[in-house]
Amino acid sequence: MQGVEEQKTLSLTVAYNGAPFCGFARQPGQLTVQGELEHALGLLFRREVATVCAGRTDAGVHARGQVVSFDVSEEELRDRTPRSLLRSLGALTHDAVAVRAVEERPRGFSARFDAVSREYRYFICVDETPPVFMRDFSWHIPKPLDVAAMEQAAAHLIGEHDFKSFCLAASAKDKPTCRNVNEVSFARERVMGENMLVVKVVGNAFLHSMVRTTVGTLAMVGRGQREPDWVCDVLAARDRSAAGENAPAQGLVFWQVNYGE
Amino acid sequence: MQGVEEQKTLSLTVAYNGAPFCGFARQPGQLTVQGELEHALGLLFRREVATVCAGRTDAGVHARGQVVSFDVSEEELRDRTPRSLLRSLGALTHDAVAVRAVEERPRGFSARFDAVSREYRYFICVDETPPVFMRDFSWHIPKPLDVAAMEQAAAHLIGEHDFKSFCLAASAKDKPTCRNVNEVSFARERVMGENMLVVKVVGNAFLHSMVRTTVGTLAMVGRGQREPDWVCDVLAARDRSAAGENAPAQGLVFWQVNYGE
């Protein structure tokens, strides 16, 4: 078998609390989720392992179901099973990271390019007094929100649009900014006795800070600062300054990725 | 009206994350929830305000609905309303504390002595991999628990019993240790996508560390280390060393107090 290098593609499903990290993407000298995962994989496979992720979350943004893919050779895997890898990665990564699953994928699978859609959930605490249990995982808006108006506004975002106004300006420069949004929906949920308005956003892919800008824009409508139809003007402007504020990072959770399975 | 000192009794409903505190009860030189509340009340009323609580939670234990009562004179209250007090207390207390409600009560009301029953909830994370969002609010038991056996064991605890075996030994010395437990029930709940077994414990009153010892004892049954009927032996022993371990503080939430309203 010598000389024959059969490659395998594996994926990790990863949850993390974004608070301690300078975002997902590896950056020299910074604590990042990718840095943590690649460090652990490096210890296991005794070489640099390059990973690809489904969505690069910003500093402070959390994940429930981030997906990360990488290739290893059969020889490197030896008698390691997905199960034993799961345990080893659990032991080797930061406390704020939990590797939920290790799976073998079809060869060449890419966590990024094979994703059919991505789901984010944004948690707004709508209690009058601040959250205690959800303090690190929500945006507190104590004044009542007009959710019906937010739903009306969100309807304008469904479908394929140029979301340039919803993208961090520096990141939008000379890049395609059309995306397809499948769903923006609202649900009331009690989490540990605290009242949340959960904004679910599903799309094929997202621009830099697009979900947070979407939520910040919809919150302006919910607070009655803008009419629902204003969102059409925001889209048409193709200018970040036309949209609402960036909702705080700590309310956002990269919920799950759909690979069309 | 001079010289007439009409007293009013107020109550606070308080939520807190127990992590930063050395428990509820005031202790000189330590960060405590009672210390925080009394400090804020002291600033508002410009005197020492003594408070009484429904349940003194230990270091690290959380609360969703702790209740605290205290007396003030009408003169001290002046034009302060429960609503304005709520806002002032919110501004004056530690970030990990949230005053949820301020209410005027019948004169002489005691958060402690007028409580008809108290409810605690204990969160066990039953996922194979560790919780991320519920990390600070649950006990992680990755091995499957036999909940039916735990229910059988819990049935022995219902009613009036001498719970001396479930009380921190030093606290049980020369004190009555009979309590009435109304309910010990189990529910599966998903919190932020993480799987919890929630143990709800309701009783008239609780001994020091009684809920945590109850959960630790039931967990031994759930893990198959003891038969459900062993709980009867534990009760009969009237000795803390007969019971299971103290379940970790961070999984426990003082959920609510019932005043028979």
> Averaged in consecutive runs of 10 residues, what is the pLDDT profile of chain A (261 residues)?
73 98 96 97 96 97 98 92 95 96 96 97 97 98 97 98 92 88 98 97 96 98 98 96 96 97 75
CB-CB contact of A82 with A12 (8 Å): no
Q: Tell which A residues from 102 to 131 touch B, by Cβ distance under 8 Å.
A: 129-131
The Cα–Cα gap between B127 and B93 comes to 35
Looking at residue B172, its pLDDT comes to: 76
CB-CB contact of A96 with A4 (8 Å): no
Looking at residue B66, its pLDDT comes to: 98
What are the chain B neighbours of A191 within 8 Å (beta carbons)? 191-192
- Partner-chain contact A62 B86, CB within 8 Å: no
Whether the pLDDT of residue B206 is over 70: the answer is yes
- Nearest-CB residue to A193 (from B17, B64, B95): B64
Chain B's closest residue to A196, CA to CA, is B192
- Nearest-CB residue to A191 (from B17, B90, B192): B192
Q: Among positive and negative, which fits the CA dihedral A229, A230, A233, A234?
A: negative
Looking at residue A162, its pLDDT comes to: 96
The Cα–Cα gap between A258 and A112 comes to 11
Tell me the average pLDDT across B172-178.
87
What are the chain A neighbours of B96 within 8 Å (beta carbons)? 132, 135
- A233 to A156, A165, B65, B169: CA distances (angstroms): 10, 10, 45, 68
* pLDDT tens profile B223-237: 999 999 999 999 999
Whether the pLDDT of residue B142 is over 70: the answer is yes
Looking at residue A4, its pLDDT comes to: 55
The Cα–Cα gap between A200 and A193 comes to 20
Q: Which of A95, A99, A133, A190 to mutate to test the interface with B (most CBs of B within 10 A)?
A: A133
- Nearest-CB residue to A15 (from B96, B132, B253): B132
Chain A's closest residue to B15, CA to CA, is A132
Looking at residue B4, its pLDDT comes to: 55
State the amino acid at position B151 in one-letter form: E
Q: Give me the phi and psi of A201, to 5 degrees please.
A: -125, 120
Looking at residue A261, its pLDDT comes to: 75
Count how many pairs of residues, chain A against chain B, have C-beta atoms within 8 Å.
Answer: 67
* pLDDT tens profile B21-65: 999 999 999 999 999 999 999 999 999 999 999 999 999 999 999
- Nearest-CB residue to B98 (from A97, A132, A255): A132
- Nearest-CB residue to B98 (from A62, A130, A255): A130
Give the CA radius of gyration of chain A. Answer: 20
- Partner-chain contact A131 B255, CB within 8 Å: no
Q: What pLDDT band is residue B171 in, cutting at 50, 70 and 90?
A: confident
CB-CB contact of B98 with A131 (8 Å): yes
Q: Which of B129, B134, B250, B256 to mutate to test the interface with A (most CBs of A within 10 A)?
A: B129
Looking at residue A1, its pLDDT comes to: 43
The Cα–Cα gap between B56 and B2 comes to 38
Q: What pLDDT band is residue B1 in, cutting at 50, 70 and 90?
A: very low
Least Cα separation, residue B130 to chain A (angstroms) = 6
- Partner-chain contact B132 A64, CB within 8 Å: yes
Q: What pLDDT band is residue B169 in, cutting at 50, 70 and 90?
A: confident
Q: Which residues of A are catalytic?
A: 58
CB-CB contact of A63 with A254 (8 Å): yes
CB-CB contact of A38 with A48 (8 Å): yes
Looking at residue A111, its pLDDT comes to: 98
Cβ–Cβ contact A86 with B under 8 A = yes
Cβ–Cβ contact A140 with B under 8 A = no
Chain B's closest residue to A13, CA to CA, is B129
* pLDDT tens profile B56-75: 999 999 999 999 999 999 99
Q: What pLDDT band is residue B261 in, cutting at 50, 70 and 90?
A: confident
Q: Which residues of B are catalytic?
A: 58
CB-CB contact of B218 with B145 (8 Å): no
Least Cα separation, residue A61 to chain B (angstroms) = 12
What are the chain A neighbours of B92 within 8 Å (beta carbons)? none
Q: Give me the phi and psi of A169, to 5 degrees please.
A: -50, -45
Least Cα separation, residue A255 to chain B (angstroms) = 9
